[in-house]
Amino acid sequence: MLSESAARAGNRIESIRQAMLESLGDSGRSAFPAIERRVRFASDVQGLWYLRGDMMEALSSLQGEYMARRKMDEISVLFQGALPRSMASRQSRLSA
């Protein structure tokens, strides 16, 4: 039987995974099946975290960089508290 914290972690991973797949949409899943597969089968939150660059590239080609950045910002918020501090993204002085 899963502990409560393990169940919460699993739910969080699935929420992030779902948000990533939804952001790709049908056209993105058709155009980038390898990215869809990698998102779908990532085994942990770190695996999903490292797919953000690929997601940004795919979304940029589908919807433009501005919309891709907005979607990825929304997805990145979902990772808060789920990653070791050393992996969390930091606010860049360039983007401030």
* pLDDT tens sequence across 4-23: 666 676 789 999 999 999 99
49 residue type, one letter: W
* pLDDT tens sequence across 44-74: 999 999 999 999 999 999 999 999 999 999 9
Q: Where are the domains of the chain?
A: 8-78
Greater confidence (68 vs 90) lies with 68
* pLDDT tens sequence across 73-88: 999 999 988 777 766 5
Instruction: Say what the pLDDT of residue 30 is.
Output: 97
Q: Which residues contact 21 (CB under 8 A, 6 or more apart)?
A: 29, 36, 39, 40
pTM: 0.80
Q: Which residues contact 88 (CB under 8 A, 6 or more apart)?
A: 79, 80
Instruction: Say what the pLDDT of residue 3 is.
Output: 72
Q: Is 43 helix (H, G, I), strand (E, B) or coil?
A: coil
